[in-house]
Structure 1
Amino acid sequence: MCGRYANTKSGEELGRYFDADEVADVAIPASWNIAPTQQVPIVVDRLSKTDPDEVPPSRLVTSARWSLVPRWATELTSTYPTFNARSETVSEKSTFKGALVRSRAVLPADGYYEWHTVTGVDGKPVKTPHYIHDPVEGELSFAGLYSWWRPPVADGQEPAPWMLTATILTRAASGPAASIHDRAPVMLPRELVDEWLDPTVEGDQALVDAMVAESEAVLERLELHPVAALRGDGPHLIEPVAR
């Protein structure tokens, strides 16, 4: 799973990296300790509302709440976590399968954290956080999904604004990260971002499986190192500590 990650690039920097047509006027502050339900940057491709068959999709960098809420949900919070979606079953789960069809996203990251758990001398689990990053590309493109949501409107009441929400797909870990945890985000090679985001393509399990297979190349080149406990925020969180 992926429950904490870092992004320190501005919307403008992400727009240049992902060749975006537009960067929304939203706050994308640098953070080395992003947690579920916080606002996070996402990249999406959108079809033209007036002429979707003739006008090519446009790319937008904006922000979303990190924990997907399907449009049909009646409440913002869920009884189970939705900040991650298992790639193996995403096309089967009611929470995610609708978004998979045409609402696919990339969540950019500098790197992410995972905890290595061992049994201590007292028999209790000891968890050590590790920071994981790509030394080649320097940017991770987490495959994700997004959904627009707002609470049901009561009779006589004004509707609340729509809220953009998102999730990160995960897969079985491999490569260096597999030494500390059995799951990892699905990380797209830069050249496959366009294919994943393309809203003219109907997403299904076959597309997900293809992206998972291609993500192997990124997983194999990742580097990781232990870090101190994740408290607060700042660049000190990704500094290596002695084993």
Structure 2
Amino acid sequence: MCGRFSLFSSFEDIIQTFDVEKMINEDEYTKTYNIAPTHDIITIINDGRINRMGKLRWGLIPKWASDPKISAKMINARSETIDEKPSFRESFIRRRCIIPMDSFFEWKQDNAIKQPFRIKMKNEQLFAVAGIWDTWYSSTGERINSCTMLTTSPNELMSSLHHRMPVILPKKEYENWLNPLEQDTQVLRSLLVPYPTSGMDAYPVSTAVNSVRNNDQSLIQQIS
């Protein structure tokens, strides 16, 4: 499970990294060190022609849902069954997105306490987590665009922290994942594998990250 992450790269870095041609206004982007479920998060989609940057609520609300509160329970989707579950199948085939991150957080049980760890790329660069999205309408016409991030089995680094990890896409696969015309489930599922341990790093951080009210650079600093 992935339940917190950070995105504090510059607006320009996000645009360049993900080849964005249409984007939100720069003043709509806020660097955030403690992003939590149900927050509106930066995402990248492809409309069949170009990559677009926008915001989606983190926590998928399927079209058939009667209550948008289901969003809080739909922040992750298992990649192994993504094309079997009614909540996710259509979005997996037709509505995929990228969720940019600088790092994510996971908690390791250490005796009586849960120690948070920050997980990032060794090269400190932005990375892309595979997501899917959907649009939900209420009976009164309210519209919510939402997403969930895909998870897979852990690599060697992550296995010491948790039994799942986000699906991190290599840069060469961004185009394939975002392409709405690519609907071959075997091709798409082949992308949903653990990212190589050699490219990742993890270290303990302050338990201040446990509270969503805390949101500053100190949350990503390594502790001894």
TM-score (norm: length of structure 1): 0.85
Q: What are the equivalent positions in structure 2 for 1:87-166 lying under 5 Å apart?
A: 87-120=79-112, 126-136=113-123, 138-153=125-140, 159-160=141-142, 162-166=143-147
**2:42 is the counterpart of 1:41:** yes
* 1:118 CA displacement: 2.9
Aligned equivalent of 1:170: 151
Aligned equivalent of 1:54: none
Asked whether the equivalents of residues 10 and 28 of structure 1 are also in contact (C-alpha less than 8 Å), the reply is no
Q: Deviations over 1:8-66 (max 9, x none)?
A: 1354431221111100237221111000000100000013xxxxxxxxx2110111100
Asked whether the equivalents of residues 44 and 97 of structure 2 are also in contact (C-alpha less than 8 Å), the reply is yes
Aligned equivalent of 2:5: 5
CA distance in 2, matches of 1:32, 1:208: 30
**2:187 is the counterpart of 1:207:** yes
Pairing partner for 2:175 from 194, 205, 210: 194
* 1:216 CA displacement: 2.9
Asked whether the equivalents of residues 186 and 212 of structure 1 are also in contact (C-alpha less than 8 Å), the reply is yes
CA distance in 1, matches of 2:13, 2:63: 30
What is the aligned-residue RMSD (CA, Å)?
Answer: 1.7
Q: Secondary structure at the match of 2:28?
A: coil
Return 68-77 or 10-19, whichever deviates more.
10-19
Asked whether the equivalents of residues 175 and 222 of structure 1 are also in contact (C-alpha less than 8 Å), the reply is no
Q: 1:203 to 1:36 in 2, by over 3 A?
A: farther
Structure number, greater radius of gyration: 1
Number of residue pairs the alignment of both structures matches: 219
Aligned equivalent of 1:222: 200
Asked whether the equivalents of residues 10 and 29 of structure 1 are also in contact (C-alpha less than 8 Å), the reply is no
Identity of aligned residues (%): 26
**Which amino acid counterpart does residue 221 of structure 2 have in structure 1?**
E
* 1:149 CA displacement: 1.4
**Which amino acid counterpart does residue 177 of structure 2 have in structure 1?**
W
